[in-house]
Amino acid sequence: MQWLNINDAGFEGAFRKIVNDRRDGDANVTRQVDTILSDVRARGDAALSELTARFDNHTLSSDTDWAISAEECKAAFDGLDADLRDALTLAATRIRTYHEAQLPEDRDYTDADGVRLGARWHPVDAAGLYVPGGRAAYPSSLLMNAIPAKVAGVKRLAVVTPTPKGVVNPLVLAAAHLAGISEIWRVGGAQAVGALAYGTERIKRVDVITGPGNAWVAEAKRQLYGVVGIDMVAGPSEILVIADGQNNPEWIAADLLSQAEHDPNAQSILITDDAGFARQVEDQVDVQSAMLATKNVAQKSWQDHGVIIQVDDIAQSIDLANDLAAEHVELAVDNPQPLFDGIRHAGSIFIGRYAPEAVGDYVAGPNHVLPTGRRARFASGLSVLDFMKRSSFIELDEAALKAIGPAAATLAHAEGLPAHAISIESRLK
Amino acid sequence: MQWLNINDAGFEGAFRKIVNDRRDGDANVTRQVDTILSDVRARGDAALSELTARFDNHTLSSDTDWAISAEECKAAFDGLDADLRDALTLAATRIRTYHEAQLPEDRDYTDADGVRLGARWHPVDAAGLYVPGGRAAYPSSLLMNAIPAKVAGVKRLAVVTPTPKGVVNPLVLAAAHLAGISEIWRVGGAQAVGALAYGTERIKRVDVITGPGNAWVAEAKRQLYGVVGIDMVAGPSEILVIADGQNNPEWIAADLLSQAEHDPNAQSILITDDAGFARQVEDQVDVQSAMLATKNVAQKSWQDHGVIIQVDDIAQSIDLANDLAAEHVELAVDNPQPLFDGIRHAGSIFIGRYAPEAVGDYVAGPNHVLPTGRRARFASGLSVLDFMKRSSFIELDEAALKAIGPAAATLAHAEGLPAHAISIESRLK
């Protein structure tokens, strides 16, 4: 953990280093993924089988080796404890409600020159959702990816998820049932992403691939961007907590640890104007992390990437937050609105002392798939729009073409594109 | 040019080949771009200078070698012929009007559980626009990229454009003046894209890079996706014209040639239910293309990539169009609305006999930067949204956390993330 004071001589350099630090990326992964994708593209299911045997220790031969049925998902859902089933259902309902309001509106109007103009939105035909297996098998991620796609109106949703040694995660299956998924393939890694993008004998090609994964999955999506649409290049998780001295240090320590426990490369940053409070939080992080089942990951993350930044005035945190462009930003102060109004770059903002980030991971409603690695400078969280696209349109009659066509022909001539000009002028002869 | 009949035995295979044909991509370009980007990242302006001397035959030493001033742009605009100035101004006005209506609305509401939820949109801080030099120096592209960024509220717009042998294009400068651009760098190619993404001593880093370019520029953007936002991976242009036999073959031939003249790899496709009409169009393409200043490019494109598809019933074109997911689709029929309603995948649709695609390139209003290479399956044309991003937000008080927090804690425990659960439970103790 690093402790910085905004008044220290070296502050600007140390802070800049944190902003520019890339906690992801590895040239080896790039090459390995390139090889895997070429193999899946060339040999389809045969390559998938070999790679799944090698990486997941799972043999793909019978149909049930390949796929999980809707009946198995329903059985998993029915078999859940009631409180877990209720929690999952509450999450699905709140996520659906929030995302339904994201549906874009078509435009269709005729302007003063008689030109009909507009734009129509359509869902993609098919979306592929990556759901991690093993340690990080999160039913919440399945809901966060599947529900926006369903709300967008996507007809076909294909889930891929690795089942190491054949083991499936019943919570993920239950979430798939709740989200109305009926196509689940037991493959993972870069090879699963390649299968979704190129298609194989068994797995039909999709148009968009979303969902979290490890470095190989993220790199596969990056390499296939353009062949398919993808949600984002995802990196390790991060949280920035802006807190005055009036918070309970236990709460803030838990918030910092809730990101740290995700990944040894996750980053938790506290900005506060109260050094005594910061020291209490630091102590609490040590006390709490020692008791966590996720202790090894959480402690490593905090040790390697944790930061406490001490400022004179909490208002100074606005500029720092905009430079950090963090995935999650908490505003644990009495009057959070001015801070909220000043923060332009953040994936998601948690306002007030009773809004721990974890609520947003599960049940608040907004998507928990958010831009990491300072990408909130230019990227947004996952939404219904990631599963839709827009066609613009133009309709002209002879009078409308007479009104605006000559200017277009003039520009076409000036750009040295005579056929462009002829296509207009021949209609106006 | 290929002629296909939907009733021929080999139709499905031949059509599938056209759909899957990739007219772009080259592994050599990938490696060269990788080398250039690493060099610019490591050595900044020194690398830029060397690469610009080598590729553009332009020496970067004095400030005026490096940049074009706002005064030069104003002088170029003032020096235009009146009809060209008026045409450019009409284009800018119509483009601005269309894009202003794309500005998204923020959401901010409190739901029945007392949870305040919403999303706020902000522009990116800085956008970089690539404007090609040399043969394909299009002022219209500058307007189509710069105006949406300005409408989005982007504070800093940095244009890069190569000036081979030091030659600048006055039309591009005039368009820059009209769009309110005051930062123009005389660099191009992958090196210019790298400078915008990483920043150099002279050129400050941007957040989003848009604009057309050759294969090196497109590959540089693809490789830097994630470091910055980009508009799309762009490939050669394409048009699909759906026309019955009641059209003037001269008009339709000009429409096909207006794409063909862009690039030898461009693709023009005609679908018609009238074989005699198709033959007339074919003849007209030959007659007109022989007279074009762009004849070499247009004839090569038509010869290598042109297609005529003969159908029995014009309604059959809907499924074909959705498979082709073309950048531009023209509907030159008497009653275009049913076709329009059926086409889900297209960059932009031109409705009726008096809507040649070229009108959309310049003055109609919608953006002419559109998805190519079947990417309209999942991508949209450039819009104001490409220069903005959304932060979701959540505000809870104690009562709201009591209402939805326990479900989140249940899910956190089930996912094996105890610190997530503690961050909620410690607040509810």
The answer to the question of whether A247 is labelled as a binding residue is no
Interface test with B, best of A411, A425, A426, A427 (most B CBs within 10 A): A411
- Beta-carbon separation of B378 and A208 below 8 A: yes
Confidence of residue A212 (pLDDT cuts 50, 70, 90): confident
pLDDT of B101 above 80: yes
- What does the pLDDT look like over A102-157, one tens digit per residue? 999 999 999 999 999 999 999 999 999 999 886 567 899 999 999 999 999 999 99
Residue B99 is a catalytic residue? no
Q: How far apart are CA A402 and CA A220, in angstroms?
A: 50
- Which residues have CB under 8 Å from A27's CB, separation 6+? none
A contacts of B116 (beta carbons < 8 Å):
351
* Mean pLDDT estimate for chain B: 95
**Dihedral, CA atoms, B321, B322, B328, B334, nearest 10 degrees?**
50
Q: Beta strands A267-272 and A208-210: pairing type?
A: unpaired
Minimal C-alpha gap between B143 and chain A (Å)? 12
pLDDT of A176 above 90: yes
Average pLDDT over residues B84-95: 97
- Beta-carbon separation of A358 and B395 below 8 A: no
pLDDT of A24 above 70: no
More confident position, B135 or A61: A61
B contacts of A380 (beta carbons < 8 Å):
389-391
pLDDT at B123: 98
pLDDT of B354 above 80: yes
pLDDT at B141: 92
pLDDT at A26: 66
Tell me if B124 sits within 8 A of B205, measured CB to CB.
Answer: no
pLDDT of B280 above 60: yes
Using CB atoms, which residue from A84, A293, A415 is nearest to B140? A415
Interface test with B, best of A117, A223, A340, A354 (most B CBs within 10 A): A354
Confidence of residue B24 (pLDDT cuts 50, 70, 90): low
pLDDT at A132: 87
Active-site residue among A58, A177, A305, A328?
A328
Minimal C-alpha gap between A422 and chain B (Å)? 6
Phi, psi torsion values for A356, nearest 5 degrees: -65, 145
pLDDT at B399: 97
Extract the tokens encoding A10. Answer: 């070296």
Minimal C-alpha gap between A1 and chain B (Å)? 18
pLDDT of B316 above 80: yes
- Beta-carbon separation of B420 and A228 below 8 A: no
What whole-number percentage of chain A has pLDDT above 90?
Answer: 90
User: CA-nearest residue of chain A to B298?
Assistant: A419
Could you identify the residue written with the tokens 């991690």? A132
Q: Beta strands A116-123 and A107-110: pairing type?
A: antiparallel
- What does the pLDDT look like over A58-112, one tens digit per residue? 999 999 999 999 999 999 999 999 999 999 999 999 999 999 999 999 999 999 9
Kindly report which listed range (A161-165, A233-237, A274-278, B198-202) carries the lowest average pLDDT score. A233-237
Q: How far apart are CA B123 and CA B229, in angstroms?
A: 12
Active-site residue among B183, B238, B327, B330?
B327
Tell me how far CA of residue B272 lies from CA of A402, B46, B319, B322, B333, in angstroms: 26, 56, 14, 16, 10
Minimal C-alpha gap between A256 and chain B (Å)? 9
Average pLDDT over residues A254-279: 96
Active-site residue among B58, B177, B305, B328?
B328
Phi, psi torsion values for B103, nearest 5 degrees: -55, 125
Residue A327 is a catalytic residue? yes
Q: Beta strands A328-332 and A348-351: pairing type?
A: parallel
Average pLDDT over residues B322-343: 97
> Comparing C-alpha atoms, which of B235, B225, B242 is closest to residue B264?
B235
pLDDT at A21: 80
Confidence of residue B356 (pLDDT cuts 50, 70, 90): very high
pLDDT at B30: 87
Tell me if B316 sits within 8 A of B6, measured CB to CB.
Answer: yes
Neighbours of A351 (CB within 10 A): 20
pLDDT at B136: 61
Extract the tokens encoding A365. Answer: 């409603």
Minimal C-alpha gap between B116 and chain A (Å)? 9
Confidence of residue B133 (pLDDT cuts 50, 70, 90): confident
**Dihedral, CA atoms, A35, A36, A39, A45, nearest 10 degrees?**
180
pLDDT of B368 above 90: yes
Interface test with A, best of B21, B395, B397, B398 (most A CBs within 10 A): B395
CA–centroid distance for A226 within its chain: 18
Interface test with A, best of B204, B411, B426, B427 (most A CBs within 10 A): B411
Tell me the binding residues of B for substrate: 237, 259, 262, 328, 361, 415, 420
pLDDT at B135: 57
> Comparing C-alpha atoms, which of A245, A326, A256 is closest to residue A278?
A245
pLDDT at A104: 96
- What does the pLDDT look like over B10-20, one tens digit per residue? 999 999 988 88
ipTM: 0.95
> Comparing C-alpha atoms, which of B349, B308, B306 is closest to residue B330?
B349
Phi, psi torsion values for A282, nearest 5 degrees: -55, -45
B contacts of A394 (beta carbons < 8 Å):
348-351, 355, 359-360, 364-366
Extract the tokens encoding A177. Answer: 């049932």
Q: Going edge to edge, which strands form the sheet with B229-230?
A: B67-68, B184-185, B156-160, B126-130, B208-210, B229-230
Average pLDDT over residues B359-364: 96
Minimal C-alpha gap between A362 and chain B (Å)? 5
Average pLDDT over residues B251-276: 96
User: CA-nearest residue of chain B to A397?
Assistant: B354
pLDDT at A30: 87
Residue-range domains of chain A with CATH: 2-24+235-364 (3.40.50.1980), 27-230 (3.40.50.1980), 396-428 (no CATH)
- Please state the three-class secondary structure of chain B as a single string: CEEEECCCCCHHHHHHHHHHCCCCCCHHHHHHHHHHHHHHHHHCHHHHHHHHHHHHCCCCCCHHHHEECHHHHHHHHHCCCHHHHHHHHHHHHHHHHHHHCCCCCCEEEECCCCCEEEEEEEECCEEEEECCCHHHCCHHHHHHHHHHHHHHCCCEEEEECCCHHHCCCHHHHHHHHHCCCCCEECCCHHHHHHHHHHCCCCCCCCCEEECCCCHHHHHHHHHHECCEEECCCCCCCEEEEEECCCCCHHHHHHHHHHHHCCCCCCEEEEEECCHHHHHHHHHHHHHHHHHCCCHHHHHHHHHHHCEEEECCCHHHHHHHHHHHCCCEEEEECCCCHHHHHHCCCCCEEEECCCCCHHHHHHCCCCCCCCCCCCHHHCCCCCCHHHHEEEEEEEECCHHHHHHHHHHHHHHHHHCCCHHHHHHHHHHHC
- What does the pLDDT look like over A231-255, one tens digit per residue? 977 788 999 999 999 999 999 999 9
Active-site residue among A327, A330, A357, A368?
A327
Confidence of residue A187 (pLDDT cuts 50, 70, 90): very high
pLDDT of B134 above 80: no
Tell me if B148 sits within 8 A of B208, measured CB to CB.
Answer: no
What DSSP letter does each residue of A224-270 carry, written as one string?
HBTTBEES------EEEEEE-TTS-HHHHHHHHHHHHTT-TT-EEEE
pLDDT of B233 above 80: no
Tell me the binding residues of B for NAD(+): 130, 191, 214
- Beta-carbon separation of B352 and A91 below 8 A: no
Tell me if B103 sits within 8 A of B384, measured CB to CB.
Answer: yes
- Which residues have CB under 8 Å from A13's CB, separation 6+? none
3-state SS, residue A65: helix
User: Could you tell me how many CB contacts below 8 A there are between chain A and chain B?
Assistant: 376
More confident position, B27 or A249: A249
A contacts of B395 (beta carbons < 8 Å):
336, 350-352, 355
B contacts of A122 (beta carbons < 8 Å):
344-345
Tell me if B187 sits within 8 A of B45, measured CB to CB.
Answer: no
